Chain A
């Protein structure tokens, strides 16, 4: 009884911390995104609000909170309001099995990656519901694109992670971290470079970011599946999008870059440094490459990533078998 109560309290505290992390992450990422975009285009980016514009993202979120929740006519009310909530809460759960530090895990699950992959699929359901219930053809098209894209990109992503799982012989994120060393040459990215490459490409597709941001392609679909959302509805989608980005980057850090391990001292700082380095890379490619066409997007996935990841998986299996 006491034990279960302790776990309950632990999960509640962890959930609150994760909400804080999600909000903080969104603020930091909006600022980073706009600053990097500015510097890449050789302009200063946000500049006026606070020193170097650091308070801009906070002010923007205040504005979103204060905005009217406008509901267009003929929407499916239940689904319309359910979708943003459904986008937000599964992401909350996804952070629980991540080992942020040697002892800093909200929920020790010995098959953590299965949990993450299973609930990550719920995100696309919320996109679909949002697009369907909005009664808007842009939203519906965006939702259809989101579904076909996310479902497609999940496969190479899982296969790439599976190669690492084969190699480590464990699905426990903590165990995978422990098998890597502190220094970069002891990380899995060296033994699984192809898997890392596939994972990074498909995480761009999975998080719907440019150049694979077709579900919300501004120039074609207004804003895609969240066209009809305003105020907090939009903010929840926004939050969960950035939280998803952080999550896949954290998983990449755990599986390929040694997680919380690093030179000098292990700890949560290393996993955050690694995850934010990956996110910086994502922002960088967003402002470098143009958006691909939808057929190109699927071609990249089905003709390249999927065969390559299968090949990688086979090779890993053979090598692991031979070595053990």
Chain B
């Protein structure tokens, strides 16, 4: 009985501990990023899993590694991928309907040649569904062209984070013009920062 009472009184101390924790949080700076005015660093975006994209080719970056085996098409639970085989193995058309994609990663996992990866497009905005159907081959060509213009010293590292999405860079943290679908749908990728 006495022990129970004493335990209860000791329990009051935990209330003080809780108050001190929230009090400390109250005084420490906020952690959230206030989006239109601030954007997160590119480093953090490197782990963001955005809509999928084709990886840059090994020899010619504009040449996809895809061999049109249709493994990703079969693996996709949302039926968002469409790969049209050309004369050779290389695909002639590669469309990706992001509006059905659940970002599960089954396509990335299933690809035998490593031709798919997640992009880091975090500022993707469109005004209609149709704009979410991407032509990934054109996107790949564009990224390869931008990369050729400004080659980075570490070529291999560039593959992973070459296309940090949209126009958000740590050097110029100007937010992307929200609502301009064009900026998001056809991103103007910039090379990875060293």
Interface residues of A (CB under 8 A from B): 36, 38-44, 47, 284-285, 287-289, 304
Contact = CB atoms under 8 A, between A and B. Distances in A.
Contact of B25 (A42, A44, A47, A285): A42
Nearest to A36: B26
Contacts of B149: none
Q: Please provide the 7 A-B residue pairs with the shortest distance between their CB atoms, ordered closest to farther.
A: A42-B31, A43-B32, A288-B22, A39-B26, A40-B22, A288-B18, A40-B26
Contact of A41 (B19, B23, B25, B34): B25
A285 B26 CA distance: 12
A284 B23 contact: yes
Contact of B22 (A38, A43, A284, A304): A284
B8 interface: yes
Contact of B15 (A44, A289, A304): A289
Contacts of B29: 42
Contacts of B21: 288
Interface string B12-36: 0001001101110111111110100
A42 to B, nearest CB: 4
A304 B12 CA distance: 12
23 contacts: A36-B26, A39-B25, A39-B26, A39-B30, A40-B22, A40-B26, A41-B25, A42-B25, A42-B30, A42-B31, A43-B31, A44-B30, A44-B34, A284-B19, A284-B22, A284-B23, A284-B26, A285-B19, A287-B22, A288-B19, A288-B21, A288-B22, A289-B18
A298 to B, nearest CB: 15
Interface of B: 8, 15, 18-19, 21-23, 25-32, 34
A23 B21 CA distance: 32
A42 B28 contact: yes
A313 B132 CA distance: 72
Given A42-B30, A288-B18, A289-B15, A304 B8 contact: yes
A41 B25 CA distance: 7
